[in-house]
Structure 1
Amino acid sequence: MNRQIIQVIPGIATSDGAGVRLRRSLGGHHRQRLAPFLMLDEFSSNDPNDYVAGFPAHPHRGFETVTYMLEGHMLHEDHLGNRGHLKSGGVQWMTAGRGIIHSEMPQQESGVMRGFQLWINLPAREKMKPAGYQDIQDASIPRFHLPHGGLIKVIAGRCQSSNGTVIQGPIHGLSTEPLFFDIHLSSDEVFSHPVPSSHHSFIYVYEGDLSIGDQAQQAPRQAALILGEGDQVTMQSGANGAKAIWLAAKPLYEPIVQHGPFVMNTQEEIMQAITDYQQNRLTTP
């Protein structure tokens, strides 16, 4: 059964970090979420005033952050000594675990800075595990080419073609079993793919025109399009093609308590995270 759009969460203009302008859909109004996804931001500007101040050093605990850079160049540094250049087409997948302090700073003073940041919750049993970081360059992300000119970048999970070929993305083996595709469709092209019926799923269209499901529901741009039940997703582009990210993951049926960059299961755990940060114990056992 093909999944249909059951909710549209428009991106709301806001700012974060030291004043980076962006659009927040998931995690925005009343913190609308789709477990295990906590937040989705899109940043896109050719005006350096919108991004040059970047995201100076700040803490996280209890979840994973994923930054996908469509265009631009940022430098990641953290307290573990990791230092990675996030360039066009690349992905930074960071597990905050019990604690990490990092920065993401633009390495350009002109041109386009464009991409997404996604927050994915961790199950309670993993919230205090050691922090980790993966820096994935564009060349290391496998592509699957569609018969009519489109392509799929497989960032997380597995992509399966109609002839049975399977492509594994660089991110796999996580508890929430995430699927993360960047989908580029040519004119009037159809893409269908199975998805576990247990997973929550959404689509975010960032270019062109796209319709979803058997009823060809028109997909608004710059909004998180929450999909209903089913074991398959089908989408079709319009005459000018379309680009979208598609995400799915296993939900966590656990309480969520968030205070800024900390996401835990109880208020007591949040207070402990704040105390640990204030006393320089956030990142140590």
Structure 2
Amino acid sequence: MSLRPTLETRLAQPTMEGAGVHLHRAFGFHDPSELDPFLLFDDFRNDRPENYYRGFPWHPHRGIETITYVLNGTVDHGDSLGNEGTLSAGDVQWMTAGSGILHQEMPKGNINGQMHGFQLWANLPGSLKMTAPRYQDVQSKEIPVVIDDDGTRVKVIVGEFWGKKGPVDGIAADPQYLDIFVPAGVKKTFKIDTYRRAFAYVFEGAGAFADASAPTGVLLEKEVMGEEVNIRDMSGNRTLIRFGTGDEVTVQAGPEGIRFLLISGAPIQEPVAWHGPIVMNTQAELQQAMRELRNGTFIKPAH
């Protein structure tokens, strides 16, 4: 077994998207190889309705998959396939845009005006970029939750973990998407297949992730799995942790516990031509998509 080194920790940055939604972006529109197959991750958390109610009106997607996970409030959605509905707390929507889809998402807060959710973009390989669009809407009650003896709780949204399988399937990136809570003071190790790229996103509490290397400025050392390894201090809220290669991630929860998403997927390792919500392999394919948007042929007829 080998511990994954912590390559980087950084705070998500405030930005604005859609028709004026205030959110925090952990990564996106920078280096698409950094967390391949994942392209973008947004945290849309707000308790001021004026900062999110205008939402994300009709917009196109091609060549990617979008994963929306709601923690608080609701999101009304619809698309050009005729799907429509409402995501509530704990629900997940996984949309395979494929050859092209028009989509809208309109967040609404809970009774107190609070709204919280995440959106992740996963790339599609060139062989699937023009596949037929597909849509999966999963209710919270369908998502398995595993609780360990020490109180660690894992919600298995996608992939297999601790003997449970998430309800979302058939995803090109072969991802694992886990919502994890580790209680105060507990140290926990999680296994991840070596071939996957992996990151964590901390959104509640605080803790520290073990690091197999010995970078300058590390303040603490902890005993992990019988070996001395470095532990990096970490503030917690809205923090992205990017891991290197290995098959284990270890976290030491702080005094209030720590809750984070642990996400991994198989890298695609293909060229990326990217403009907004359209991601192709070449500039020619990207230009073709933009022409189709202009002339009204972007949505492909069903076969």
Is the alpha carbon distance of 1:129 and 1:32 closer, same or farther for their aligned partners in structure 2, counting shifts above 3 Å?
closer
Question: Which residue of the partner structure matches residue 125 of structure 1?
Answer: 127
Question: Which residue of the partner structure matches residue 216 of structure 2?
Answer: none
Question: Which residue of the partner structure matches residue 232 of structure 2?
Answer: 217
Where 1:64 maps in the other structure, the secondary structure is: strand
8 Å contact from structure 1 (residues 205, 219) kept in 2: no
1:269 aligned to 2:285? yes
Deviates more, 1:242-251 or 1:205-214: 205-214
Q: Any residues of structure 2 matched to 1:5-24 within 5 Å, and which?
A: 5-24=6-25
1:114 aligned to 2:116? yes
Write the deviation string for residues 78-104 of structure 1: whole angstroms up to 9, x where unpaired: 011001211111111100000010100
Q: Any residues of structure 2 matched to 1:50-69 within 5 Å, and which?
A: 50-69=51-70
Where 1:128 maps in the other structure, the secondary structure is: coil
Question: Which residue of the partner structure matches residue 265 of structure 2?
Answer: 249
Write the deviation string for residues 216-271 of structure 1: whole angstroms up to 9, x where unpaired: 22234313211011111121211110110010000011001101110000000000
Q: Any residues of structure 2 matched to 1:1-285 within 5 Å, and which?
A: 1-28=2-29, 33-108=34-109, 111-160=113-162, 166-213=163-210, 214-221=229-236, 222-284=238-300
Deviates more, 1:40-49 or 1:231-240: 231-240
Identity %: 39
Greater gyration radius:
2
- Which segments of 5 or more consecutive residues in structure 2 lack a partner in the other structure? 211-228
Write the deviation string for residues 166-189 of structure 1: whole angstroms up to 9, x where unpaired: 100112342321000000121112
Structure 1 residue 278 displacement after superposition: 1.3
Give the root-mean-square deviation of aligned CA atoms: 1.6
Question: Which residue of the partner structure matches residue 163 of structure 1?
Answer: none
Structure 1 residue 134 displacement after superposition: 0.7
Structure 1 residue 8 displacement after superposition: 2.4
8 Å contact from structure 2 (residues 72, 109) kept in 1: no
Structure 1 residue 193 displacement after superposition: 2.1
The letter of the residue matching 2:202 is V
CA distance in 2, matches of 1:273, 1:77: 21
Is the alpha carbon distance of 1:28 and 1:61 closer, same or farther for their aligned partners in structure 2, counting shifts above 3 Å?
closer
- Which segments of 5 or more consecutive residues in structure 1 lack a partner in the other structure? 161-165
Structure 1 residue 31 displacement after superposition: 6.5
Where 1:44 maps in the other structure, the secondary structure is: strand
Structure 1 residue 143 displacement after superposition: 0.2
8 Å contact from structure 2 (residues 32, 38) kept in 1: no
CA distance in 1, matches of 2:127, 2:272: 14
Between Structure 1 and Structure 2, how many residues are aligned?
280
> 4+ residue runs of structure 1 moved beyond 6 angstroms?
none
Write the deviation string for residues 15-68 of structure 1: whole angstroms up to 9, x where unpaired: 000000011121155668410110000111110011010010100000000111
Is the alpha carbon distance of 1:6 and 1:194 closer, same or farther for their aligned partners in structure 2, counting shifts above 3 Å?
same
